[in-house]
């Protein structure tokens, strides 16, 4: 997934997603579950900036946190 996002955004995502303090631990790529990764693989086609990825992850975490 990191390679796909890096290619899509033309930006080195691996460092950003691992080190960015604004990205919660549970939303880092290495900790995502398979269903979330599958959804992310579809959503990445709409991303144009790193902020799009961060927003998507935040929204996804909010959805999974609500019962």
Predicted TM-score (pTM) of the model is 0.67
With contact defined as beta carbons under 8 Å apart, do 60 and 36 qualify? yes
Read off the pLDDT of residues 11-45 as tens digits, 9 standing for 90 and up.
666 555 654 444 555 556 777 788 888 999 999 99
Lowest mean pLDDT among 4-13, 31-40, 44-53: 4-13
Q: Is 48 a residue whose pLDDT tops 80? A: yes
Paired tokens of 8: 């899509």
With contact defined as beta carbons under 8 Å apart, do 42 and 3 qualify? no
Lowest mean pLDDT among 7-16, 38-47, 57-66: 7-16
pLDDT-based confidence at residue 2 (cuts at 50, 70, 90): confident
């Amino acid at each position: 997934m990191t390679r796909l996002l890096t290619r899509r955004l033309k930006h080195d995502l691996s460092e950003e997603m691992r080190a960015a303090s604004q990205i919660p631990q549970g939303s880092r790529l290495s900790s995502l579950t398979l269903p979330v990764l599958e959804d992310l693989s579809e959503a990445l086609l709409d991303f144009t900036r790193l902020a799009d990825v961060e927003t998507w992850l935040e929204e996804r975490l909010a959805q999974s946190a609500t019962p």
